[in-house]
């Protein structure tokens, strides 16, 4: 507050009070002279001087407090208040993933400084990341200009110690991610104004604010150790095969918790403005792909659950299957009659299509709906996108869908559906929240437990002696299915033999009771480069390395390996399984 602020026209009552008091003092002097009491005159004069000093010091102190706390001047800046406190984000073991830290906005007020040139040189020397253009723009402002946002406390201290007049620091809460790019797509990021944009930050925004008000963190489902292993192996595979993009996922099939979710290329959520749209895209949730032969796991499970086939049922793959205007071929033709296990292990399109025809279009559609493959994955992430599904479920479209063509789903939707055929037949939504340790979501039953047991054994057989050999991890009983889908190319108006999606979907451990803790692992490579681009070549090895690394973190004990030549026998005939109504 300055003297002009106290002008008589603004505060007439105040000035009338001051004038009245001055006249009273004057009258007191006159009475002292009239009475001839000099000592009274001296006492009054001393009192007046003291009063004037007291008023002066009071005004100065009030002005200093106003300047330091309420005004824009001075190096202290404005007081920071009124911004909602956001809770820390931590992983399932309490490791810090995101937090609010106080940063500072550096501004300059040209009205308060004595030398623009000296201020400019001092700031550039104290802050190496500051550019001359930024300083010059701020100094050209008529009053106050922003020099740099996001100063750390250490940077603020360096500038403050310079003692430059006209330099102002405004505190601001800023979201920071201490692990950098790790889990960036799952965590999300903030806009400049502090509003969450994507990931858990956006999806759980209300919960994060509520927990922040209580001073508690929000625990996410991921495990930093598992996330780091997935990202490292995904990046290594991407460096080798140079794909357009890649995805890595790990989920708990019994609870639906996402233990790791990676999308490559990634970005640093501390500086999202430097990332490209390709880096910011969450391919696990917001992209859809024709998954290829990983869908054969669903078709085989449906065939078993619908009592159409047993693991030992046979299918004629001696020659291509003609359907209307097209012919279905096998990538690696066996030219012989195959059992259902062999159809799966050899990834036979012909055998799978024949199984789908036996199931029938209406029943296949009902199962696909129950498995969540005709809608967006049930997860908190707002990026989760809808699939592209057949307009009609006739025999022709159904045959294509049976081996993963003609339907595009997100990796998250694939993981959710895989969980349902591996956890005992329960449809459990995915979640990025940490669930209580003793909670086992029930979910809607979509398949029988016997079907799940049979699928675990069949998938284990595929890794032991089928197309998934490269995904094995010693002693961890890995099962899985390769997937290679050709992408539609608008330039040739058809499917390309060169633009492919290679993936591997795995589960471990495959042994034990139906309620055993099990984990689903997916690696997907979008348009990998190289002479061989199939899922068994570009994705399966990365899955094996991931499982080998994360098994100990998840408490999965290594078991003695069964003989490679042993036959994996599915439990019980399909006819003995209970009906599921699908």
CATH number at residue 198: 3.90.1310.10
pTM here is: 0.80
Do residues 523 and 546 lie in contact, with contact meaning Cβ atoms separated by under 8 Å?
A: yes
Chain-centroid distance of CA 108 in Å reads 37
Does 295 fall in a domain? yes
Q: What value does the mean pLDDT take over residues 567-577? A: 38
Shared-domain flag, residues 291 and 419:
yes
Q: Show the domain range for 270.
A: 227-529+542-576
CA–CA dist 365, 140 (Å, integer):
67
68 — pLDDT class (breaks 50, 70, 90): very low
HEC string of 314-358 equals EEECCCCEEECCEEECCCCCCCCEEEHHHHHHCCCHHHHHHHHHH
Q: Looking at 192, 219, 246, which one is the last position of a domain?
A: 219
What residues contact 463, with CB distance under 8 A and at least 6 apart?
469, 471, 472, 478, 479, 480, 506
Which one of 221, 263, 287, 293 is the catalytic residue? 293
Q: Answer yes or no: do 204 and 56 share one domain.
A: no
Give the residue with greater pLDDT, 381 vs 582.
381
User: 55 or 105: which carries more pLDDT confidence?
Assistant: 105
Domain total of the chain = 3
Kindly tell me if the per-residue pLDDT of 85 is higher than 90. Answer: no
538 confidence band (pLDDT: 50, 70, 90): very high
- Of these ranges, 1-10, 51-60, 120-129, 289-298, the one predicted with the greatest mean pLDDT is 289-298
**pLDDT digit string (tens) for 448-484?**
999 999 999 999 999 999 999 999 999 999 999 999 9
Q: What dihedral do alpha carbons 334, 339, 343, 346 form, nearest 10°? A: -50
CA distance 344 to 298: 11
Q: 558 and 507 in one domain?
A: yes
User: What is the model's pLDDT at position 62?
Assistant: 57
445 and 298 together in one domain: yes
pLDDT band at 114 (very low <50, low <70, confident <90, very high): confident
Q: Which of 13-27, 430-444, 487-501 has the lowest mean pLDDT?
A: 13-27
DSSP conformation letters of 239-295:
HHH--SEEEEEEEETTT-BEEEEEEES---TTSGGGS-HHHH--HHHH--B--GGGG
**CB < 8 Å & 24+ apart, contacts of 272-276:** 272/189, 272/190, 272/197
Q: Is the per-residue pLDDT at 328 higher than 60?
A: yes
Q: What is the pLDDT of residue 444?
A: 96
Contacts of residue 308, Cβ cutoff 8 Å, sequence gap at least 6: 355, 358, 359, 574
Is 313 one of the annotated active-site residues of the chain? no
Phi, psi (rounded to 5 degrees) for 232: -65, -45
pLDDT exceeding 70 applies to what percent of the chain?
A: 81
Same domain, 286 and 385: yes
Residues 565, 442 share a domain: yes
Please choose, from the candidates 471, 461, 470, 484, the residue with its C-alpha nearest in 3D space to the C-alpha of residue 330.
484
For residue 81, tell me if it sits in a domain.
no
Last residue of a domain, one of 70, 98, 115: 70
Q: What's phi and psi for 325, nearest 5 deg? A: -85, -5
The better pLDDT of the pair 559, 224 is held by 224
Alpha-helical (H) ranges within 379-528 are: 395-402, 411-422, 449-465
* 551 occurs within a structural domain: yes
Q: Is the pLDDT of residue 578 over 50?
A: no
Q: What is the DSSP letter of 197?
A: -
Shared domain check, 293 and 180? no
- Of 259, 277, 257, give the one whose Cα is nearest residue 267: 277
Confidence of residue 389 (pLDDT cuts 50, 70, 90): very high
3-state secondary structure of 104: strand
Examine residue 384 and state whether it is found in any structural domain, yes or no: yes
- Is 365 a domain residue? yes
Task: Give me the pLDDT at residue 30, please.
Answer: 58
Q: Is residue 98 in a domain? A: yes
**For residue 581, is it within any domain?**
no
The pLDDT confidence band at residue 574, using thresholds 50, 70 and 90, is very low
Let me know whether 318 and 450 are in one domain: yes
Dihedral sign from CA coordinates of 485, 536, 348, 310:
negative
Residues 208 and 310 occupy one common structural domain:
no
End-to-end CA distance of the chain: 78
Q: Are 487 and 288 in contact (CB under 8 A)?
A: no
Residue 442, class by beta-carbon neighbours within 10 Å (0-12 exposed, 13-18 middle, 19+ buried)?
Answer: exposed
User: Where does a domain end: 70, 97, 126?
Assistant: 70
Q: What's the average model confidence in pLDDT over 48-76?
A: 51
pLDDT value at position 500? Answer: 94
The reply to whether 78 falls in a domain is no
Q: What confidence tier does 382 reach under pLDDT thresholds 50, 70, 90? A: very high
Q: Which residues contact 351 (CB under 8 A, 6 or more apart)?
A: 315, 316, 317, 338, 340, 342, 343
Asked if residue 434 and residue 322 are part of one domain, the reply reads: yes
Q: How confident is the model at residue 94 (pLDDT cuts 50, 70, 90)?
A: very high
What is the overall mean pLDDT for the chain? 86
Residue 371, both tokens: 């498995």
The pLDDT > 90 percentage for the chain reads: 61
pLDDT category at 69 given cuts 50, 70, 90 is: very low
pLDDT over 80 (residue 95): yes
The CATH number covering residue 387 comes to 3.40.710.10
In 3D space, the residue among 471, 418, 445 whose CA is nearest the CA of residue 252 turns out to be: 418
More confident residue, 350 or 74: 350
Same domain, 278 and 407: yes
**pLDDT-based confidence at 153, cuts 50/70/90?**
confident
Average pLDDT score over residue span 53-59: 59
Q: Is it the case that residue 294 has pLDDT exceeding 80?
A: yes
One DSSP character per residue, 432-454 reads SBPPPTT-----EE-S-HHHHHH
Q: Looking at the structure, do residues 448 and 551 belong to the same domain, yes or no? A: yes
Q: What distance in Å separates the CA atoms of residue 406 and residue 365, rounded to the nearest whole number? A: 13
């Amino acid at each position: 507050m300055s003297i002009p602020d106290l002008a008589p026209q603004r505060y007439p009552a105040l000035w009338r009070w001051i004038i009245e008091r001055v006249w009273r003092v004057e009258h007191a002097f006159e009475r002292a002279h009239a009475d001839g009491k000099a000592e009274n005159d001296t006492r009054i004069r001393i009192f007046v001087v003291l009063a004037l000093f007291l008023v002066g010091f009071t005004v100065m102190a009030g002005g200093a407090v106003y300047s330091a706390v309420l005004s824009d001047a001075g190096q202290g800046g404005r007081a920071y208040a009124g911004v909602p406190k956001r809770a820390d984000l931590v992983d399932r073991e309490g490791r810090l993933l995101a937090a609010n830290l106080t940063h500072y906005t550096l501004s300059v007020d040209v009205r308060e400084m004595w030398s623009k040139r000296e201020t400019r040189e001092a700031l550039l020397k104290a802050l190496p990341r500051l550019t001359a253009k930024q300083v010059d723009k701020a100094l050209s402002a008529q009053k106050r200009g922003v020099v740099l946002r996001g100063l750390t406390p250490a940077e603020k201290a360096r500038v403050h110690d310079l003692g430059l007049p006209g330099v102002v620091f405004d505190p601001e809460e800023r979201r920071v991610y201490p692990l950098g790019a790790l889990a960036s797509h799952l965590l999300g990021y903030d806009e400049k104004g502090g509003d969450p944009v994507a990931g858990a930050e956006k999806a759980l925004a209300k919960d994060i604010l509520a927990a922040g008000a209580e001073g508690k963190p929000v625990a996410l489902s991921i495990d930093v150790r598992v996330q780091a292993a997935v990202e490292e192996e995904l990046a290594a595979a991407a460096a080798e095969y140079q794909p357009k993009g890649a995805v890595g996922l790990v989920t708990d099939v019994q609870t639906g918790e996402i233990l790791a979710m990676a999308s490559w290329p990634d970005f640093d959520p501390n500086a999202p403005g430097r990332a490209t749209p390709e880096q910011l895209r969450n391919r696990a949730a917001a992209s859809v792909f024709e998954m290829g032969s990983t869908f054969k796991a669903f078709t085989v499970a449906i065939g078993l659950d619908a009592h159409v086939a047993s693991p030992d049922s046979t299918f004629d793959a001696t020659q291509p299957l003609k359907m209307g205007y097209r012919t279905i071929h096998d990538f690696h033709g066996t030219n012989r009659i195959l059992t259902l296990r062999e159809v799966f292990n050899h990834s036979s399109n012909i055998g799978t299509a024949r199984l789908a025809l036996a199931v029938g279009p209406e029943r296949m559609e009902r199962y696909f709906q129950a498995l969540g493959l005709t809608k967006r994955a049930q997860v908190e992430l707002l990026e989760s996108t809808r699939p592209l599904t057949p307009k009609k479920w006739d025999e022709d479209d159904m045959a294509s869908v049976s081996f993963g063509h003609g339907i595009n789903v997100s990796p998250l939707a694939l993981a959710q559906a895989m969980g349902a055929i591996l956890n005992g037949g329960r449809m459990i939504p995915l979640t990025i929240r940490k669930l209580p340790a003793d909670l086992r979501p029930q979910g809607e039953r979509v398949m029988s437990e016997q079907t799940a047991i049979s699928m675990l054994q069949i998938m284990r057989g595929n890794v032991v002696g089928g197309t998934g050999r490269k995904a094995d991890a010693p002693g961890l009983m890995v099962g899985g299915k390769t997937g290679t889908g050709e992408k539609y190319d608008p330039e040739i108006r058809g499917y390309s033999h060169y633009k492919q999606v290679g993936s591997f979907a795995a589960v471990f451990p495959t042994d034990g009771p139906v309620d055993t803790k099990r984990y689903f692992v997916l690696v997907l490579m979008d348009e990998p480069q190289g002479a061989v681009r199939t899922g068994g070549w570009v994705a399966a090895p990365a899955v094996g390395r991931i499982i080998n690394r994360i098994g100990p973190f998840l408490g999965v004990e290594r078991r003695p390996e069964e003989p490679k030549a042993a036959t994996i026998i599915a439990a019980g005939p399909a006819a003995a399984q209970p009906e599921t109504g699908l």
